[in-house]
Amino acid sequence: MDNIFAARLEELDRQGLYRSLTTYTPVSATHVRLGDMECLMLASSNYLGLTHHPSVRQAAADAAQLYGSGSGGSRLTTGTHPLYSSLERDLASFKGTEAALVFNTGYMANVGVLNALAGAQDVIFSDELNHASIIDGCRLSLARVIVYRHSDMADLSAKLAATPCQGLRLIVTDGVFSMDGDIALLDRIVVLAEEHNALVMVDDAHATGVIGNGGHGTAAYFGLAERIHVQMGTLSKALAAEGGYIAGSQVLIDYLINKARSFIFSTALAPATIAAAQAALALIVAQPVLVRTVQENARYLRGILADAGLNVGESETPIIPVLVGNTEKATTLATTLRRNGLIVSAIRPPTVPPGTSRLRITVSAAHSREDLVFAVDRIISAAKAAGI
Ligand SMILES: *Cc1c(COP(=O)(O)O)cnc(C)c1O
């Protein structure tokens, strides 16, 4: 049997698509040790650098001391320790919704909510560049899935009009697209949804703590909190911990507690994780300068790379793609940069469409100006040497 898998792996390798794990030892919010070399991290979703903030670390340590290392049960049995309800209250307040529900990962939140909301009678309209966890949630839901071209409102409108549906219609989109860093046209999606009697769900994994004043996410960025039915997000990126959440009406949350299988059939998160996320959220509320700093750092890096003639696509956020096209070239470039002390991801199919392999750079509020200058010098010279 192993022969079959080995042959499949060889085929991946031939296509330049083989994946393997590298161990990085974190030394700060912005630096990791790789072997005996210290590298600048430009591939993390730790947008505000809060993984290493003293009050976040202290909150995690205190919760572990007070409540133990694990939760010991699912939320519906014995896993709802006291930290959950206060974090969920804070998340709802941050998102401007009645209620919120924490899942164990963002992936599980997407899979759970789509599976719970949509069934065989229903239709989900999904942007072609949505995150893999949305795609998997659509598949598990058994709903009919209509994929529309990326942020193409004419295509979405035509597909809504051409798809009669007895049941529920749901439009789902990333708020900030994870591999391109562009922002969904949520203002226009909402208008189309209302015209066609559809619900709207937005995935704020890369938007919470990152876009708009105060980092409240995509709905707030467009001033649309009341008109978005499902706001999904993660605790794993700007919130410096682990987990996902859904924010929405109390009825939606009660429904998910009863119906979302990834919520029901999995052990609750560790107290330390919840406490860390709550401490990080409190810092974002208390220090909006953190959000402004990541935005300024992103603008700075994006501007310099674009001025040097690199193609950074439509990015408006700390996710900055540098389009390369050829998969091998993207991988080689990332390896060269790593040898020069810089961790940048090479993103290849199937994560992105064939022919659009790229470097993907992410910026954090914790990066200093010297960090960013160090990074652009090396990125630009490596790209030029590779003929990009
Ligand atoms: C990271 C991510 C997720 C999954 O969140 P995890 O907490 O890492 O499981 C979901 N959607 C998008 C757009 C993401 O980037």
Quick check: is 53 catalytic? no
**206 ligand 1 Cβ < 6 A:** yes
User: Which atom, in ligand 1's list, is nearest to the CA of 108?
Assistant: 9
Q: What pLDDT score was predicted for residue 16?
A: 84
Q: What pLDDT score was predicted for residue 239?
A: 98
DSSP state of 79: I
Give strand pairing partners of 145: 124
List, for residues 261-292, the tens digit of each pLDDT value. 999 999 999 999 999 999 999 999 999 999 99
- pTM surpassing 0.75? yes
Higher pLDDT, 16 or 46: 46
Phi-psi region of 9 (alpha: psi -120 to 50; beta: other; left: phi over 0): alpha
H or E, element range at 261: helix 261-264
List, for residues 79-104, the tens digit of each pLDDT value. 999 999 999 999 999 999 999 999 99
Pick the CATH number of 54-286 from 1.10.540.10, 3.40.50.2300, 2.40.10.340, 3.40.640.10: 3.40.640.10
User: Which atom, in ligand 1's list, is nearest to the CA of 174?
Assistant: 13
374 closest CA partner among 311, 299, 300: 300
Write the burial class of residue 237 (CB in 10 Å: 0-12 exposed, 13-18 middle, 19+ buried): buried
Residues forming CATH 3.90.1150.10 domain(s) in the chain: 19-47+288-385
Q: What pLDDT score was predicted for residue 99?
A: 98
- Over residues 358-369, mean pLDDT: 98
Question: Could you tell me if 240 and 44 are in contact, meaning their C-beta atoms sit under 8 angstroms apart?
Answer: no
Quick check: is 237 catalytic? yes
Residue in 104, 127, 131, 232 to alter for ligand 1 test, most ligand atoms within 8 A of Cβ: 131
Quick check: is 206 catalytic? yes
Confidence of residue 26 (pLDDT cuts 50, 70, 90): very high
Per DSSP, the three-state class of 130 is coil
Confidence of residue 1 (pLDDT cuts 50, 70, 90): confident
- Percent of the chain whose predicted confidence (pLDDT) is above 70: 100
* Rounded Cα gap, residues 243 and 240, in angstroms: 10
**351 ligand 1 Cβ < 6 A:** no
* Rounded Cα gap, residues 105 and 234, in angstroms: 7
Fold of domain 19-47+288-385: Aspartate Aminotransferase, domain 1 (3.90.1150)
pLDDT at 329 over 90: yes
- b/e string for 13-32 if b means 16 or more Cβ within 10 A? eeebbeeeeeebeeeebbbb
CA of 208 relative to ligand 1 center, distance in Å: 12
Q: What pLDDT score was predicted for residue 91?
A: 98
Confidence of residue 373 (pLDDT cuts 50, 70, 90): very high
Residues forming CATH 3.40.640.10 domain(s) in the chain: 54-286
User: Which atom, in ligand 1's list, is nearest to the CA of 176?
Assistant: 13
The whole-chain average pLDDT of the chain stands at 97
